[in-house]
Structure 1
Amino acid sequence: MKTILLIEDNSDIRENTCEILELAGYNVVTAENGKVGVEKALAAKPDLVICDIMMPVLDGYGVLHIFSRNTTLAGTPFIFLTAKTERSEFRKGMELGADDYLTKPFDESELLSAIEGRLKRFEQLDQTRTDYDLKSNGLEAFLDDAQTKLESLSADRKVHTIPKKQYIYAEGDQPLRLYFVKSGKIKTIKTNADGKEFITGIYEEGSFFGYLALLENREYTDSAVALEDSQLHYIPKEDFQQLLSANRSVSQEFIRLLAGHVAEREQQLLTMAYGSLRRRVADTLLHLHTSMGEQVIKYSRDDLASMVGTATESLIRTLSEFKQDGLIEIAGSSIRILQPEKLRRAGW
């Protein structure tokens, strides 16, 4: 039995709609506003959401925004209920990712037809969904699967070799393609007026980068530079845009990447704003060790300082303190974490 989450602040509409859905054989969970609806969705993911737009506490647009940023809820079929008929409202909802609209008042057949259509379409998409292991030749499967659904996808799988320290794109450039790291490491950086670098991201084997500017259709706000000799695949902008619209597996992969990117950037900014230097250095080392799976952290001290957002001399001094405390081991440019839990508490 499919579960439908119905978010509607009007009690009469909520009760009547719930009754129709239950008679049609659906399990229905109701919520009187967007905040309660999100909480119930997080507790138990629904198969489909029917959501009013104009509500107190959190409106329908806010609900859909939260769904799209949450890796668990992203991709859930989403139908808006609205009394508004202005084209701008329809366009805004569809741009945010709504799958369908029902304008109040609606009749029973219209409601059930919209639900059945959405559920059937998503079931078909789920049957063809593939989880891509991008580190184990997964790019080929990713593109091959997409190409079966998109005849115009470029067949060019050429590998581009990028030497260490070479720029791939610069801040202010127009995005022309999506990048995939076949081997090596790429850093993205922002540079202030004094020429000081701040590293905004590290991308290793099996990672995509450069997709944010493509999705937002704007100039790059940072630059990408090879940290070491690297090999990249290029996917043209037009192909990437068609992939997102034609293949649900591809679009869900990038929703997941974006959600992780936003959460990671928010945490990075929060730590930089309020964390002590020891906290920031510890968090950076732990991120490289756990999230990126680096058993031995091997970056130049300048690059590490750029990740932390501090002077190189301050970084070196803090690393020496961690070494004296027995938390890390340093051999040349390599760092090995000896006591992760104690390092995690080192800045508090």
Structure 2
Amino acid sequence: MEGSKILVILEDFDLRAKITEILTVGKYNVKSTDSGKHAIDIIRKNPVDVIISGVNVSEIDGFGVLLTVNKFTETAGIIFIMLLNDKDYDLARRVMELGADGHLMAPFDDGELLNQVGVKLRKKRLQHDLFLKKHLQLRSIDNSKDDMSWLRSRFEGSLPRHFKKNQVLYYKGERRSLGLHYILSGKVKTYVADTAGNVFITGIYGPHEYFGLQGTLLGTENKEIAEAIDSTEVLTIPFAEVQHLITDYPEIFSVFAKDLALTLSKRDEKLLDIAYYSVRKRIAKAIIGLTQLSHNAERGRLILPRHDLACLVGIASETLSRVLSDFTKEGLIEKEGNNIIVLDAKSLMLMKN
């Protein structure tokens, strides 16, 4: 490729000058030296695209230069062509075994030299382009889909798993269940609990939402317990497949990062509510948030066990029952068994602290 940088390492001044001239006419940027040690200094300071080296050069011979180039990650990708003085096929085999990309046996003409350099450079460029296409481009995704729609499509190859009401999907500390879990139907709560049995719900997820992101990105173990609130159907992408997904489509990591940041922001807001808001306002806020989560209208229906709602707000069940009774008397909600029907969403949203 025109403009590629080539380093020529040869003791023979006339041959070195001739090869330099041929390559310069071919519109390559060429440097030359008769010293293997000097060549290594040049490569480390200013990496080149191609090295053309003889076997017998001063200070460090051609084999030493080849081994040094292949030893370091930053130089291992340099194309290395060895010049051989005679048709010594054993020597040629040794050169290739040590990691050279090609060799030229004397005598060779201008065309052979330019052809070998050009072929090697084109092959390297093709490999680089294929790597970029496979590993660094997210937009091999259908551009008609947004990121979340595309992510949801990744779950389609998974077999759904069914969980009964109150069945645990995974426990804190488990590794075998690491992965992203997508809800087809039902609801799932994630929570942490202490040794005394006190529970704090960290999230409630409904249809077309996924959970398990924190443990998956950390890659260590699940940090929470996940339990089905209702009869639930879930698809799962295992941890190893998520890692492959991130490798193949690096930009999907930004989707995960945004979702994780949003989750942490909601938890920060929740801690602020616990610290400064009255119990009435916290309960009202939770009811509105959960009915919006269920995509209900203003007269929404919240279907959630009282104990779970209390754990989500961070209060005792008895306190929750007392406040819900007050809301019922004030005409804000209506209770129907375990269900809460929102009658006045605006008043709940504007609840004073």
TM-score, with structure 2 as normaliser: 0.56
Report the Cα offset of residue 242 of structure 1: 1.4
Q: Classify the secondary structure of the residue corresponding to 1:218.
A: coil
Counterpart contact for 2:335–2:341, Cα < 8 Å:
yes
Instruction: Tell me the alpha carbon deviations over residues 8-29 of structure 1, each in whole angstroms, 9 at most, x when there is no partner.
Output: xxxxxxxxxxxxxxxxxxxxxx
Report the Cα offset of residue 157 of structure 1: 1.7
**Whole-angstrom distance in 1 between the partners of 2:155 and 2:319:** 45
Q: Which runs of 5+ in 2 are unaligned?
A: 1-131
Instruction: Tell me the alpha carbon deviations over residues 34-84 of structure 1, each in whole angstroms, 9 at most, x when there is no partner.
Output: xxxxxxxxxxxxxxxxxxxxxxxxxxxxxxxxxxxxxxxxxxxxxxxxxxx
**Whole-angstrom distance in 1 between the partners of 2:155 and 2:249:** 10
**Whole-angstrom distance in 2 between the partners of 1:225 and 1:124:** 36
Q: What is the identity, as a one-letter code, of the residue corresponding to 1:161? A: H
Counterpart contact for 2:178–2:212, Cα < 8 Å:
no
The corresponding residue for 1:250 is 252
Aligned-pair identity in percent equals 31
Report the Cα offset of residue 288 of structure 1: 0.5
Instruction: Tell me the alpha carbon deviations over residues 155-209 of structure 1, each in whole angstroms, 9 at most, x when there is no partner.
Output: x521111111111111122253221111111100111232122211011111111
The corresponding residue for 1:170 is 171
CA 1:244 to 1:139, structure 2 compared with 1: closer, same or farther past 3 Å? closer
Counterpart contact for 1:180–1:232, Cα < 8 Å:
yes
Instruction: Tell me the alpha carbon deviations over residues 276-324 of structure 1, each in whole angstroms, 9 at most, x when there is no partner.
Output: 1111101111111224424210111111111111111100100111111
Matched, 1:334 2:343: no
CA 1:313 to 1:143, structure 2 compared with 1: closer, same or farther past 3 Å? closer
**Whole-angstrom distance in 2 between the partners of 1:164 and 1:308:** 21
Q: Classify the secondary structure of the residue corresponding to 1:200.
A: strand
Q: Classify the secondary structure of the residue corresponding to 2:236.
A: strand
Q: What is the identity, as a one-letter code, of the residue corresponding to 2:318? A: E
Instruction: Tell me the alpha carbon deviations over residues 81-134 of structure 1, each in whole angstroms, 9 at most, x when there is no partner.
Output: xxxxxxxxxxxxxxxxxxxxxxxxxxxxxxxxxxxxxxx99x964574431565
Q: What is the identity, as a one-letter code, of the residue corresponding to 2:153? A: A
**Whole-angstrom distance in 1 between the partners of 2:152 and 2:138:** 20
**Whole-angstrom distance in 1 between the partners of 2:139 and 2:178:** 30
**Whole-angstrom distance in 1 between the partners of 2:239 and 2:250:** 17
Report the Cα offset of residue 249 of structure 1: 5.5
Greater shift after overlay, 173-182 or 203-212?
173-182
Q: Classify the secondary structure of the residue corresponding to 2:197.
A: coil
Q: Classify the secondary structure of the residue corresponding to 2:245.
A: helix
Q: Classify the secondary structure of the residue corresponding to 1:165.
A: coil
Match of 1:346 among 331, 342, 351: 351
Counterpart contact for 2:155–2:236, Cα < 8 Å:
no
Q: Classify the secondary structure of the residue corresponding to 2:235.
A: strand
Match of 1:131 among 146, 156, 159: 146
Counterpart contact for 1:187–1:225, Cα < 8 Å:
yes
The corresponding residue for 2:129 is none
Match of 2:263 among 258, 261, 278: 261
Counterpart contact for 1:198–1:306, Cα < 8 Å:
yes
The corresponding residue for 1:240 is 242
**Aligned positions of 1:217-228 closer than 5 A:** 217-228=219-230
Q: What is the identity, as a one-letter code, of the residue corresponding to 1:309? A: G
Q: Classify the secondary structure of the residue corresponding to 1:232.
A: strand
**Whole-angstrom distance in 2 between the partners of 1:213 and 1:133:** 19
Counterpart contact for 2:155–2:235, Cα < 8 Å:
no
Q: Classify the secondary structure of the residue corresponding to 1:179.
A: strand
Counterpart contact for 1:282–1:347, Cα < 8 Å:
no
Report the Cα offset of residue 143 of structure 1: 5.1
The corresponding residue for 1:141 is 153
**Whole-angstrom distance in 1 between the partners of 2:286 and 2:152:** 32
Q: Classify the secondary structure of the residue corresponding to 1:173.
A: coil
CA 1:139 to 1:232, structure 2 compared with 1: closer, same or farther past 3 Å? farther
Report the Cα offset of residue 345 of structure 1: 2.6
RMSD: 2.7
The corresponding residue for 2:198 is 196
Counterpart contact for 1:243–1:251, Cα < 8 Å:
no
The corresponding residue for 2:306 is 301
**Whole-angstrom distance in 2 between the partners of 1:187 and 1:325:** 30
**Whole-angstrom distance in 1 between the partners of 2:331 and 2:167:** 37
Q: Which runs of 5+ in 1 are unaligned?
A: 1-119, 145-155
Counterpart contact for 1:198–1:309, Cα < 8 Å:
yes
Counterpart contact for 2:193–2:200, Cα < 8 Å:
yes
The corresponding residue for 2:326 is 321
The corresponding residue for 1:70 is none
Match of 2:273 among 232, 250, 271: 271
The corresponding residue for 2:87 is none
TM-score, with structure 1 as normaliser: 0.56
Q: Classify the secondary structure of the residue corresponding to 2:335.
A: strand
**Whole-angstrom distance in 1 between the partners of 2:335 and 2:351:** 17
Match of 1:215 among 214, 217, 228: 217
